[in-house]
């Protein structure tokens, strides 16, 4: 039986308060880190745990921390990516609203490891309750000596600032987020240099997701072997899965990394609505390519999903049943990416605009026989030719829809209407 780790406190009364967090062992990991481990030892612990970033890319967290120069002549920063703009994703919001001290403790330990004394939480402005809870948690932590100067009697000093974004999806991209923090228009930067060397204010910066940072205190307290014992060896640990769409029990589920997608959807989330069957599932937010129902026997981890042409992404699992038109789904997704494109690079700005026009024509029953070939050509022109992964995600998702549900696109063109109406 799997024991919740990241969500163990959320059902408790006043779970967001420091007193509740301390009663469950909160901030003991911070004390252990500061008094019994050097910063390099904390980095080694996280490396041994094989914790991979929960924000989408799945990059090894300890390795990312080790890229920060040891003797930099500029201050180092930790940035927590709490923008969570991926449609179908709501896991970080729950942590910040109901257990904010878990995030703050994770940020404090992570900053100690990389030598940062200042951290920023970049959070989407719509998360008003999460913002209030984080602000309250910071005040509580400062009053008890978990933040501020010489934390818990150590030589480590650390402060956390909250920066509210304006709801731009592009700010989920780490370098666009850094530009926004600096007061600039949020647009991705050309890499290299990478943020670990030249990030916020041209200083060494580590950027981690909320869920990633929340894992750190548990690794420090229970050890990397415990963490590696949960899920597959290449992608271990507990994982938060966001279930939404046409399923009986939508919600947030904490389960081991690598759980089969079919088990997640049919057993934990109750399967499709009565009288319907599952047509497809988007496993990692709308930037992840769709998986048809026959392919649901795949593990929900980075490597397994990559092996079937999709990705774990933010683990925003969106279930689609047989009542839904996949042309409509593809059109709405591309409309979203087109709207959220920052416009910096031509393939994304112009390519997605063109794709939206073609898809809208096909959806309206006004498509032509050459439209599918044109869509394929547009995806080829976008993929791999943009500053960030926004264009890549849009192209990958559309290509998967065209490949798996080509018959529905053809039906729209040949019949001159949507067969689901």
Phi/psi for 209 (5° steps) reads -80, 160
* pLDDT at residue 231, as a whole number: 92
Largest separation between any pair of C-alpha atoms in the chain: 74
Tell me what pLDDT residue 51 has: 97
Q: Which pTM was predicted?
A: 0.95
pLDDT of residue 167: 82
What's the pLDDT at 369?
Answer: 87
* Predicted pLDDT at 84: 93
Closest CA to 103 of 151, 178, 160: 160
C-alpha R_g of the chain = 22
Question: Residue 334 CA to chain centroid, in angstroms?
Answer: 19
Which pLDDT score is estimated for 139?
98
Task: Count the neighbouring beta carbons within 10 Å of the beta carbon of residue 202.
Answer: 12
Reading the chain (421 residues) residue by residue, the pLDDT tens digits are 789 999 999 999 999 999 999 999 999 999 999 999 999 999 999 999 999 999 888 899 999 999 999 888 999 999 999 999 999 999 999 999 999 999 999 999 999 999 999 999 999 999 999 999 999 999 999 999 999 999 999 999 999 999 999 889 999 999 999 999 999 999 999 889 999 999 999 999 999 999 999 999 999 999 999 999 999 999 999 999 999 999 999 999 999 999 999 999 999 999 999 999 999 999 999 999 999 999 999 999 999 999 999 999 999 999 999 999 999 999 999 999 999 999 999 999 999 999 999 999 999 999 998 999 999 999 999 999 998 999 999 999 999 999 999 999 999 999 999 998 8
Alpha carbons 370 and 372: distance in angstroms, whole number? 6
């Amino acid at each position: 039986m799997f024991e919740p780790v990241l969500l163990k406190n959320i059902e408790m009364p006043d779970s967001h308060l420091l007193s509740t967090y301390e009663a469950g062992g909160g901030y003991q990991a911070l004390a252990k880190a500061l008094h019994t481990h050097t910063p390099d030892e904390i980095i080694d612990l996280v490396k041994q745990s094989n914790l991979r970033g929960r924000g989408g890319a799945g990059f090894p967290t300890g390795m990312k921390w080790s890229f920060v120069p040891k003797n930099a002549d500029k201050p180092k920063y930790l940035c927590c990516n709490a923008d969570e703009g991926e449609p179908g994703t709501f896991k970080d919001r729950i942590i910040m609203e109901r257990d904010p001290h878990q995030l703050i403790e994770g940020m404090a330990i992570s900053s100690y490891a990389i030598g940062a004394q200042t951290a920023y939480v970049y959070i989407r402005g719509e998360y008003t309750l999460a913002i209030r809870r984080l602000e309250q948690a910071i005040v509580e932590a400062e009053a008890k000596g978990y933040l501020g100067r010489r934390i818990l009697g150590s030589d480590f000093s650390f402060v956390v600032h909250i920066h509210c974004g304006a709801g731009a999806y592009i700010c989920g991209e780490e370098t666009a987020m850094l530009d926004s923090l600096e007061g600039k228009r949020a647009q991705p930067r050309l890499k290299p240099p990478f943020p670990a060397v030249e990030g916020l204010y041209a200083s060494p910066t580590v950027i981690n997701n909320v869920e990633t940072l929340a894992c750190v205190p548990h690794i420090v307290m229970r050890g990397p072997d415990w963490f590696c014992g949960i899920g597959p060896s290449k992608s271990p640990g507990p994982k938060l899965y966001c279930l939404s769409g046409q399923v009986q029990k939508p919600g947030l589920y904490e389960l081991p990394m690598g759980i089969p997608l079919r088990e997640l959807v049919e057993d934990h989330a109750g399967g499709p609505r009565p009288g319907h069957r599952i047509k497809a599932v988007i496993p990692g937010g709308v930037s992840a390519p769709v998986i048809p129902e026959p392919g649901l026997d795949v593990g929900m981890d980075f490597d397994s999903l990559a092996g079937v042409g999709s990705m774990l992404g933010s683990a925003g699992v969106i279930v689609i049943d047989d009542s839904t038109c996949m042309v409509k789904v593809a059109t709405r997704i591309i409309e979203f990416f087109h709207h959220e494109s920052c416009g910096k690079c031509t393939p994304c700005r112009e390519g997605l605009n063109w794709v939206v026009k073609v898809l809208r024509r096909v959806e309206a029953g006004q498509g032509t026989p050459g439209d599918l070939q044109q869509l394929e050509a547009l995806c080829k022109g976008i993929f791999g030719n943009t500053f960030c992964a926004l264009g890549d995600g849009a192209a990958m998702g559309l290509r998967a829809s065209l490949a798996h549900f080509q018959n529905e696109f053809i039906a729209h063109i040949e019949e001159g209407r949507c067969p689901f109406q």
